[in-house]
A and B are shown apart, each in its own frame.
Chain A
Amino acid sequence: MNNHQITINRWKDKIFYWYGLICTVSGVLILAVFLYSIIIEGWDRLNWQFFTSLPSRRPSSAGILVPLLGTLWIMILTTIIAVPIGIAAAIYLEEYGKKNKFAEFIEVNIANLAGVPSIIYGLLALEIFVRIMGLGRSLLSGALTLSLLILPIVIVSTREALKSVPKTIREASYALGATKWKTIWNAVLPSAAGGILTGVILAISRAIGETAPLVVIGAMLYITTIPTHPLDDFSVLPIQIYNWLSRPQKGFIENATAAIIVLLAITFILNGIAIYLRNKWQSKVKW
């Protein structure tokens, strides 16, 4: 290679360095600008009254109590429904299922399900949960819908976590006289817990940001009763935000931005917990 060629390659190197840097920074920058404008607009609205009030026709006396509780309810119910099913399915597929055509078929379908637009899940849920099962436009219907939505994510991430448990751990357990089930329950799952938990939390944080499928099944835009039972009507934060943003009054826009801050805070906290758990587990478990 001659000197000229080396100079050109060095230049290419530099150009790519700057290009990459700009790409990276622009993503972060856009997020920062977005956060800044949201916080400037909504921060003053975040007071006790905002958190504890029911919806109202006047923006200044409206609050997010109902959708906030709805979001918490949905979070808990979805976790209770989706996590055991997802983990059990993943254990079956990863540990018990024979590697045959049927398993391949299931696998491809789970991967496909993860890519289905969320509104489709809403339509399915409207027919099955709301109408056929007669659960109505309830919290339970909403949680079941979101469970469907995040099941593929929980299954895929749990399988990844199970896969990452080294063979030597399983062998150690079998060599001590453990059955397959005991090995999975006592050795593999605890070793994979960090990865599973991380996946579950990220899935839940995805679920609480979903709007479309809940709109389809008929979550309420305007509801003045606090949900106390899984079969109660409900609203959630994203729907409240959507509702407020569609109003003409300036005050409601301000309310919406404040609610966005709350929703973002919840997601960031969940993601933060996921990252913390992952790091903690990684430092504890070195294979």
Chain B
Amino acid sequence: MQAKIISKNVNVYYGTNHVIKNVSLDIMPNEVVAFIGPSGCGKSTFLRLLNRMNDFIESFKMEGEILIDNEDIYDSKIKVEELRKKVGMVFQKPNPFPKSIYENIVYGLRIQGINDKKYLDSVVEKTLQQVGIWNEVKDKLHQSAMALSGGQQQRICIARTLAVEPSVVLMDEPTSALDPISTATIEELIYQLKKQYTIVIVTHNMQQAGRVSDRTAFFYMGELIEYNDTRELFTNPKVELTQKYITGRFG
């Protein structure tokens, strides 16, 4: 099977700071891959390479190649807006727009100039069903999304991402600001979404990586230390550093 995402010898510099060191890794379609590692290890930076969110950092410089669906996403011919439609992102802290639930969901469509109400209505219902929140919010679609709980807000943010029909969903510590119950619902959701999407999730929580992912990549000081089947990595790590990290001897 052809890998969905291929990265080859990727190096990233912020000014003179070498933050990603020669990382190569492949992600298969409909796979959930978790990135773990201590703070500042480069896992978020690497995740943000995949939808080019690092482009906003002035001193950012990258070497190497990242292919998604066999296209070099850092090629100058690539339209970054198109890339970001294909590679959606969910952030650490729920960040709904200060608009209604409905307007949050259709944001990505409206900016593409899609205003057909019937179509938008159907997308809103479909994506809210997908994230399992339709019954909770269907009577208050036109109320502010800011009034919802953190867990609900995060699911709105996921629905908003799905509305533009991405094939890859990046999640940057999506549950770190949520309570345990909301966290469980999001994890359950990730398991559901995997059928249709390729998911890359950064997490601080090793149990979470164990629960939701097929494969796990362990980063340390900008290097990819180990990348393996999640069960294998957690039960039988090949590298001593990985073992030290997953047993909590540093982090």
Contact = CB atoms under 8 A, between A and B. Distances in A.
Contacts of B144: 284
Nearest to A194: B98
B97 A191 contact: yes
Contacts of A178: 81, 108, 111
Nearest to B81: A177
B132 to A, nearest CB: 21
A272 interface: no
B53 interface: yes
A179 B111 CA distance: 9
Nearest to A191: B98
A176 B98 CA distance: 16
Contacts of A173: 97, 107, 111
A196 B137 CA distance: 31
Contact of A175 (B93, B96, B146, B161): B161
Among B82, B95, B99: residue with most chain A CB under 10 A: B95
Contact of B82 (A177, A186, A284, A286): A177
Contacts of B85: 176-177
Interface stretch (A124-132, A164-172, A230-238): A164-172
A190 B93 CA distance: 20
Contact of A284 (B84, B98, B157, B164): B98
A285 B98 contact: yes
Interface residues of A, number: 20
Interface in B139-161: 144, 146, 157, 160-161
A190 B161 contact: no
B89 interface: yes
A175 B81 CA distance: 8
B111 A168 contact: no
Among A175, A176, A191, A285: residue with most chain B CB under 10 A: A175
B51 interface: yes
B108 A176 contact: yes
A182 interface: yes
A187 B97 contact: yes
Interface in A178-216: 178-179, 182, 186-187, 190-191
A36 interface: no
A272 to B, nearest CB: 23
Interface in A129-177: 166, 168-169, 171-177
B84 A174 contact: yes
B112 A190 contact: no
B88 interface: yes
B134 interface: no
Interface of B: 51, 53, 56, 81-82, 84-85, 88-89, 91, 93, 95-99, 107-108, 110-112, 144, 146, 157, 160-161, 164
The 9 closest A-B pairs by CB, nearest first: A176-B108, A177-B85, A168-B95, A175-B89, A285-B98, A177-B84, A182-B111, A177-B81, A172-B95
28 contacts: A166-B95, A168-B91, A168-B93, A168-B95, A169-B95, A169-B97, A171-B53, A171-B89, A171-B95, A172-B97, A172-B160, A174-B53, A175-B88, A175-B91, A176-B88, A176-B111, A176-B161, A176-B164, A177-B85, A177-B111, A178-B108, A179-B111, A182-B111, A186-B107, A190-B98, A284-B98, A285-B98, A286-B146
